[in-house]
Structure 1
């Protein structure tokens, strides 16, 4: 596929504009202070200091309000800042001052419309170019516009057919041309979400909060829900999409009834995760169980952090989802939180997986295998993509806990089967030792158990054994 460089580059016509800006006012003389101002603006533009260039060109325009080249150069500065509305105003002004004859303004207007996914407007601007049939830049951009529109239409058909992955790929092709096309990005975020690509969906939804002229608390809350409960914990504050979304929401509305409680909840949950991670780091396994399950170890009390997290997860994924065939992202209401797909189950939550790992691991470390077995089973039932299979990772932790439970039930062969699978997968030393122990226990179980034959317990005293004989 041809990469649409023409969308992102400044107009080649800038290269041919005179560096010693000739006055375009029908031969009128410049005010004395204007030439140095124009030279400074041109220098700022060439250095890529676009904000300063905009300010300086604006000062120059105040002194020479009919100079079309000043509007053109300020428009290119706005374009480089992705301030498309302001850039279009300047290029429209250029065309009005030149009786629609300045091709550079036509080409730059077409580029903006293409970036925004306004395919018809882009073609109209290209058709107005005097050399539309021969100019390579115009021809290349026209091909990009055709490809962008075709890909968008294809994505719409695939979305209607619930072909989520195909829809995502087609929308991606359209965005390579129309990177600022709000409707296309909305569609791609929806298809990514339905396809189970949470990271891509969050990325698009976050980008949309910048592309839209305004945002609502519900849009930020949707990003929080997806990022916090269905993405791995961030490794740095700059990558914390959940927290960033809520902060942006509270910046717009400090008293938001949606975002303020969610922000408090996020902070409380983060403190809980920090506390349990500290206990795990110190090997305080009893402390882990007390914190996650409560002092009574039932996991049902109001102070049990596992219950607190699962209640929050359930609350934020409980919204009913409308039929995908009736869903059109451009018309979906923005006043209420976006319904999440019913396919987003707890088994897909990385943070829940982390808590189950800690519970399984703690019970195993404390030889509480029977109590820990349900948590080890739940850990192993989490989505496979969340379970690391290296030494000491989630799969090993779950298999070790499960095997120890089976050994306690004297199911020797099943325990060995579990540990052999873990050994073949990760070759962890802990698994190796547990496997060797299980094999010894199996061998011992196959020798004749004289205590069982005599019908006495293994701790019977000599007198009881002699009597049984």
Structure 2
């Protein structure tokens, strides 16, 4: 069985629709007021407002209908719309203290202190014992003094003192855009752009068609490096005024920058590192002085050069980033990876250790440091890349080419002297081992992660570093009859 409580929302909805229909043809003012009261109690402010509109139209000389509509306007945060209704109430009923007190409160919050003072005095004229009016009147005079002092301090460049006074004033006058704008300028002068943004944002609603606030917000977000939000704010300016010259000029700049930044990020996600380098250089060319974007572009250059295998350029660009931001963990890791490619293992370990001191929880740092330490230890024994004289990112074709060249040079059959032949044999074994590891994807991967798959320490019992793998550059017969293949 359906209960009356379950039916209540449906009854209210049907009543509301009925009253809206009736309102078109006149309707009953009392019914509109009652429905407005019910909806207001339920928090359905917009629906309540429509009924109060109908009530005002149905009885334009009823001061209570204006007062109730003003109450809804205030609940919706539309103080500017509430004031004309309160004016109307007091023109119809000058002694209605509730409306005068309400208007005084609105004037106070708006920072219209002279008007607020006049209303509170009239409240006391009708009710000399009204304590709230007395208390607020006592606050208004020192409040005026604080605002005047804050203005003087702002003009004299004493921004911190101005901020302290403005903060007190804003507590009493939170709907005053001028006070928030002045405090925002003080924050900007101190370099605290985030707090400036928090003050400018509400002024977009406190002033009509506030294109200046949207432009200011866009410029602030731009300086903060939040290009996407800068673009959002400048679009709001152009919605209000499509022909706004300053907003349109900035819109073109930030739109282009956002496109470049997004393209650079997409290139990284696709591992298209040379495309990333191109976009990053375009960002630098477009914004050579805005430090936050310079840092971002150089960070992309650091990362993408490192990933692309351009280790010398990567080390340079990552160092540029770290000169600006010494605690940049990503730049330290990218430079460490470039150092490894450049066979500068000690430098790589040092960078990872510094990154670990900054962010000890980073998985990338932990794994990178472990790898770099293994490679450093490994390099003290045997480095197959150095043996063949190739870079760590060399492809198989380059490795085989280097192997052929080195094998020809150190082929023991070329040497007659016994000592020279033994020396050549040692080199040839190393060359063959390097080719064996670096042309086998699985073995090369192990080696690149600090493990030598032919480690003699673990393979001593097999008589050599790699014979257990089935690869012996020498036949067992005498006379060094070599049978190796360059493939």
Q: TM-score, length-normalised on structure 1?
A: 0.64
* Alignment of structure 1 residues 192-203 onto 2, 5 Å: 192-203=187-198
* Alignment of structure 1 residues 18-33 onto 2, 5 Å: 33=28
Please say if residues 189 and 205 of structure 1, whose CA atoms lie closer than 8 Å, have aligned partners that are also in contact: yes
Structure with larger RCO (C-alpha < 8 A, sep 6+): 1
The separation in 2 between residues aligned to 1:165 and 1:261, in whole angstroms, is 33
Instruction: Kindly provide the CA deviation profile for residues 20-63 of structure 1, in whole angstroms up to 9, marking residues without a partner as x.
Output: xxxxxxxxxxx993332332333344334444444433433344
Count how many residue pairs are aligned between Structure 1 and Structure 2.
362
Shift of 1:186: 0.8
Identify unmatched segments of 5+ residues in structure 2: 1-25, 382-405, 421-487
- In terms of Rg, which structure is larger? 2
**Match status 1:368 vs 2:310:** yes
User: Which among 258, 264, 273 is matched to residue 276 of structure 1?
Assistant: 264
Instruction: Kindly provide the CA deviation profile for residues 294-348 of structure 1, in whole angstroms up to 9, marking residues without a partner as x.
Output: xxxxxxxxxxx3343335436xxxxxxxxxxxxxxxxxxxxxxxxxxxxxx633x
**Match status 1:308 vs 2:308:** no
User: Corresponding residue for 1:429?
Assistant: 366
Shift of 1:112: 0.6
3-state secondary structure, aligned to 2:123: coil
Shift of 1:124: 2.2
**Match status 1:346 vs 2:272:** no
Q: TM-score, length-normalised on structure 2?
A: 0.62
Please say if residues 27 and 58 of structure 2, whose CA atoms lie closer than 8 Å, have aligned partners that are also in contact: no
Instruction: Kindly provide the CA deviation profile for residues 86-125 of structure 1, in whole angstroms up to 9, marking residues without a partner as x.
Output: 3222222222323x32211221111111111122322221
* Alignment of structure 1 residues 66-465 onto 2, 5 Å: 66-98=61-93, 100-130=94-124, 134-139=129-134, 141-142=136-137, 145=140, 149=144, 152-153=147-148, 155-216=150-211, 219-232=213-226, 241-289=229-277, 292=278, 305-313=279-287, 346-347=290-291, 349=292, 351-382=293-324, 395-402=328-335, 418-427=351-360, 428-433=365-370, 436=373, 440=377
The separation in 1 between residues aligned to 2:294 and 2:271, in whole angstroms, is 20
Shift of 1:417: 5.1
Please say if residues 340 and 372 of structure 2, whose CA atoms lie closer than 8 Å, have aligned partners that are also in contact: no
More helix by share: 2
User: Corresponding residue for 1:340?
Assistant: none
Please say if residues 147 and 174 of structure 1, whose CA atoms lie closer than 8 Å, have aligned partners that are also in contact: no
Identify unmatched segments of 5+ residues in structure 1: 1-30, 234-239, 293-304, 315-344, 390-394, 445-458
Shift of 1:245: 2.0
Q: 1:148 to 1:380 in 2, by over 3 A?
A: farther
User: Corresponding residue for 2:36?
Assistant: 41
Q: 1:369 to 1:105 in 2, by over 3 A?
A: same
The separation in 2 between residues aligned to 1:397 and 1:281, in whole angstroms, is 16
The separation in 2 between residues aligned to 1:382 and 1:407, in whole angstroms, is 23
Q: CA RMSD in A?
A: 4.0
